[in-house]
Amino acid sequence: MSDDIHSSADGAVNRHAYLVEQAEDGLYMTDESGEFTVVNEAFTELTGYEREEIIGSGPELLLEDDELEELNTHIRGALRTDGDSGSVLTTIVAKSGQRKPVEIRFNLLPAEEQYNGLTGVVRDVRARRHRKQKLDVLSRVLRHNVRNKLNLIFGHAQIIQNAANDQHADAARQIEDAAEELRELSEKARTAQTEVGFNPSVEGQTDLVELIEHLAVQFRREQPEAEITTALPEQLTATAPKSYRIAVSELVENAIQHNPADNPAVRITLERTDNGVVTGVEDGCPPIPDTDRRAINEGEETPLVHSMGIGLWLANWVADTVGGELRLDRLPDDAGNRAIIILRGL
């Protein structure tokens, strides 16, 4: 009988271990000193550290000082109120240096008097953040632009009905321009919803040099007034999502459209650095409006901070889906802007 009980207990332990390892979220346990004693495979995948590097280390391995203090504040709050659980939205720093927004849930391990450690879950909330950002941005941009452009269409339609014949051509032209802008805006909204998803599928190794060269040829053909140049290595192959082309294309299109020159110049650069694959799009445009910079950098569209369109958001989302980022800077000589897509781990 005792052998049967022992065998049953071993089987239960094995099943519990299997469930822990198969969980999609990162699971962890710490001791009374705050050091990790147990983590599952999802935890190692999220952080980029091997299990041996995590066990015996504390949360300072993953959290910067401010984030660590915030977590400790929540834990102390649970202890003071005799609660046994809590959660905090914070940001961890993976081994690669990538910052990942997460939700950390914790439960205090049972103890008669003193603190005995934690067990809990670390959940990657980038997908949740992406959904919220997309809905907020698309809703605001579409409501604002569709309403304004439709008002313009209706206004000029009335002019055509009531004005003399010599005014018809100019009014009709403005109607066509407004309708085309609405069409393009709708296309970008569709692209954001259908082509730029979190955890995107990849199609194996892609020659990014060839991809950018083809993109440059396409822009030279479709917009011959633009001067498109490139500074590319002989070859740079990486595992990149299909949406990478969308991101670069949006930045080039943005650089052409916002350049007041008759022959807008755009330069596309590509290189591999210690930080990952870096793609730059340089233009001769006036400074990117602070509202656009703030919207991208702060990750939120508000009534007071309203970006001009969806293009920069598309590039930002594409970069973020593969653990990268979009940076908007001025060129050193202040002659234009440089948008940089950094794709880490490719």
For residue 312, give the nearest of 331, 293, 330 by alpha carbon: 293
Of all residues in the chain, the percent with pLDDT exceeding 70 is 81
Supply the pTM of this predicted model: 0.54
pLDDT tens digits, residue range 85-121? 888 989 999 999 888 889 999 999 887 777 888 999 9
Would residue 97 be called left, alpha or beta, if left means φ above 0 and alpha means ψ between -120 and 50 degrees? left
For residue 194, what pLDDT is reported?
A: 58
More confident: 301 or 151: 151
Q: Which residue has the tokens 């002019």?
A: 159
d(CA 17, CA 123): 19
Highest mean pLDDT among 126-130, 197-201, 310-314: 310-314
Give yes or no for residue 329 having a pLDDT over 70. Answer: yes
pLDDT tens digits, residue range 165-195? 666 777 777 777 777 777 777 667 666 665 5
Q: pLDDT grade, residue 208 (50/70/90)?
A: very high
What value, to the nearest 5°, has the Cα angle with vertex 126 and ends 130 and 144? 15
Q: For residues 12-26, b (16+ Cβ closer than 10 Å) or e, as one string?
A: eeeeeeeebeeeebb
- 65-74, 117-126, 165-174, 237-246: least confident range: 165-174
DSSP 103: E
Average pLDDT, the chain: 81
d(CA 34, CA 60): 10
- Helix residue spans in the chain (DSSP H): 2-22, 41-47, 51-54, 65-80, 126-162, 168-194, 208-222, 243-257, 290-298, 311-321
Which residues are 305's β-sheet partners?
302
Q: Are 335 and 214 in contact (CB under 8 A)?
A: no
For residue 51, what pLDDT is reported?
A: 93
For residue 8, what pLDDT is reported?
A: 43
pLDDT tens digits, residue range 280-328? 999 999 988 887 777 776 666 555 444 456 778 888 887 877 677 888 8
Give yes or no for residue 56 having a pLDDT over 80. Answer: yes
Give yes or no for residue 244 having a pLDDT over 90. Answer: no
Q: What one-letter code names the amino acid at 276?
A: G
Q: pLDDT grade, residue 7 (50/70/90)?
A: very low
